[in-house]
Structure 1
Amino acid sequence: MSVFDDPGHFGRLWADTYDLPGGLPDPALAVEFLADLGGGGRVLELAIGTGRVALPLAARGVTVEGVEASPEMVAKLRAKPGGEDLPVAIGDMADVPVTGPYGVVYLVFNTLFNLVREQRQADCFRNVARVLAPGGAFVIETYVPDPAGIDRDEQVQMREVTEDSATIRLHRYDRAAQTFVRQTVTFDAGGVHLHPFAMRYMWPEQIDEMAGQAGFHLAERYADWDRTRFGPDSTSHISVYRLG
């Protein structure tokens, strides 16, 4: 069994540094988009993490709940203003371990791809369909894979070099499986430190097909949270799926 099959792996490894400045996008536009879509009903964030989107959305008066596999991430959320008030189920987002119904379920910042097995991605859609209210929406934000970025089996990047440490990042791709493993390696006086990460990426049309198998249809697609028109040169997408 791979460490990437453990849904809490990411949070245990990254919770302490996840909120550092410069690492995460400003949630303001996502919050605006989701608040408009919510329609006053309950909203569920899968992989709620440290509350980057959920907390400002709740501050808008939206009833937000969450699913998160990592107690370490939830502890960071709880330490923030308003974090103690959000109901969060600890569990695998692919299982959607809540009952619903929810007017909106959302999964942002490429996190669908953190499910590294195709079957688990399909499970996520099927279980969202189970908890979504009639007329509700499932919102997904991911990047659009760039074939030029995965045309080699391996890639090595120098990340940081100081007088005390050096950090490199290595990628290995499996293009047939549409997966990659990334290892961030830091060398310092304390030894060698490994931070592994993996994804199973999909193109938008593949996500649409998987959604369709769970009973969803694509209702809206934009290039960003500002509702910019999605086109062939878009590098990301915000997709809104509805049942039926």
Structure 2
Amino acid sequence: MESYGNTECWDRVEDYDGLGWATAQDADEAAGFLAELAGRGRALELGVGSGRVAVPLARRGVEVVGIDSSEPMADQLRRKPDAADIEVVIGDFAEVPVPGTFGVVYCVLNTFMLLLTQDEQVRCFENVAARLDPGGSFVLQLSLLSPAHYAQSTFAETMHAAADSAVLIAAEHDRAGQRVNRQQMVVTKTGVQFYPMSYRYVWPSELDLMARIAGLELAGRWAGWTGAPYQGNPGRYITVFRKSV
């Protein structure tokens, strides 16, 4: 299955946060969760984008560094008034190309799944482990396909509907490769815009094995930032892995 150009797609978006439908409304909850794990250590975000979570985390007094492959997205972050102290590194976040170590490394809103092979995902785990302080945490916010979508090689759904706009999704699914090519079509009165993306979803048990390979151990898994129990339902969940002291 050929992949779409994830970076090229979002490079065209001048105001990512303004899209609304493309972002989650959980930045403050995420920042509180991550700040507690960071303690007095630094925080590193993989795929920092426009800084939706990095900025409120920095407001809590945590030193934040971000990695992203998109210079235009990084520019959106740098223009924010509260982002002056956030260092942004342009590069492949699977390589974790930053010096020093961190109390917490985190990757939110399915960004980890933009690594399109299992090898890339394992490599990311190993590089993260090398950048964690002793006792440091690696936090992932991911989601699973719905059972109905898992059974299909193609699927479509409505992501958003309003009086003057709609966001429709059409996807092709490679079950053996755990790969999805997804086209997001934003329909407004002025026309249609396309936001293609590709991702490789990963099962919780597979995550746990990747962590073991990298020398990390499972610290906990929850249904959200508030600590609700995770019961394997479709939708976003939080996993925390920890490096031994």
| CA distance, structure 2, for counterparts of residue 232 and residue 3 of structure 1 | 28
| CA distance, structure 2, for counterparts of residue 213 and residue 78 of structure 1 | 35
| CA distance, structure 2, for counterparts of residue 27 and residue 60 of structure 1 | 12
Identify the residue that residue 111 of structure 1 maps to in structure 2.
Answer: 111
Asked whether the 8 Å contact 1:42–1:102 carries over to 2, the reply is yes
Asked whether the 8 Å contact 1:11–1:69 carries over to 2, the reply is no
| CA distance, structure 1, for counterparts of residue 87 and residue 134 of structure 2 | 22
Asked whether the 8 Å contact 1:3–1:9 carries over to 2, the reply is no
Asked whether the 8 Å contact 1:145–1:202 carries over to 2, the reply is no
Per-residue CA deviation, residues 203-223 of structure 1 (Å, 9 max, x unaligned), is 111111111111111011111
Per-residue CA deviation, residues 135-167 of structure 1 (Å, 9 max, x unaligned), is 1111111113322222211123467899x9987
- The more displaced of 225-234 and 180-189 is 180-189
Identify the residue that residue 10 of structure 2 maps to in structure 1.
Answer: 11
Identify the residue that residue 223 of structure 1 maps to in structure 2.
Answer: 223
- Secondary structure in structure 2 of the residue aligned to 1:210: helix
The correspondence of residues 54-203 of structure 1 with structure 2, limited to 5 A, is: 54-157=54-157, 168-185=168-185, 193-203=193-203
| CA distance, structure 2, for counterparts of residue 165 and residue 31 of structure 1 | 31
- Secondary structure in structure 1 of the residue aligned to 2:94: helix
Identify the residue that residue 30 of structure 2 maps to in structure 1.
Answer: 30
Identify the residue that residue 44 of structure 1 maps to in structure 2.
Answer: 44
Asked whether the 8 Å contact 2:6–2:197 carries over to 1, the reply is no
RMSD: 2.8
Per-residue CA deviation, residues 57-80 of structure 1 (Å, 9 max, x unaligned), is 101111111111111111111111
| CA distance, structure 2, for counterparts of residue 149 and residue 7 of structure 1 | 21
Cα–Cα, structure 1 residues 56 and 160, in superposed 2: closer, same or farther, change >3 Å? Answer: closer
**Please, what TM-score do these two structures have when normalized by structure 1?**
0.88
| CA distance, structure 2, for counterparts of residue 187 and residue 33 of structure 1 | 35
Cα–Cα, structure 1 residues 15 and 113, in superposed 2: closer, same or farther, change >3 Å? Answer: farther
Asked whether the 8 Å contact 2:3–2:181 carries over to 1, the reply is no
Aligned pairs, how many? 243
Cα–Cα, structure 1 residues 190 and 226, in superposed 2: closer, same or farther, change >3 Å? Answer: closer
- The more displaced of 105-114 and 6-15 is 6-15
- Secondary structure in structure 1 of the residue aligned to 2:15: coil
Cα–Cα, structure 1 residues 185 and 144, in superposed 2: closer, same or farther, change >3 Å? Answer: closer
Where does structure 1 lack aligned partners over 5 or more consecutive residues? none
- Secondary structure in structure 1 of the residue aligned to 2:84: helix
Structure 1 residue 10 displacement after superposition:
4.7
- Structure 2 residue 240 is matched with structure 1 residue 240: yes
Cα–Cα, structure 1 residues 96 and 10, in superposed 2: closer, same or farther, change >3 Å? Answer: farther
Asked whether the 8 Å contact 1:104–1:138 carries over to 2, the reply is yes
Q: Which structure ranks higher in relative contact order (CA pairs < 8 Å, sequence separation ≥ 6)?
A: 2
Letter in 2 for 1:56: P
- The more displaced of 123-132 and 165-174 is 165-174
Cα–Cα, structure 1 residues 167 and 82, in superposed 2: closer, same or farther, change >3 Å? Answer: closer
Asked whether the 8 Å contact 2:42–2:103 carries over to 1, the reply is yes
Using the aligned pairs only, state the percent identity: 39
Structure 1 residue 123 displacement after superposition:
1.2
Cα–Cα, structure 1 residues 188 and 141, in superposed 2: closer, same or farther, change >3 Å? Answer: closer
- The more displaced of 147-156 and 217-226 is 147-156
Cα–Cα, structure 1 residues 7 and 232, in superposed 2: closer, same or farther, change >3 Å? Answer: closer
Cα–Cα, structure 1 residues 217 and 115, in superposed 2: closer, same or farther, change >3 Å? Answer: same
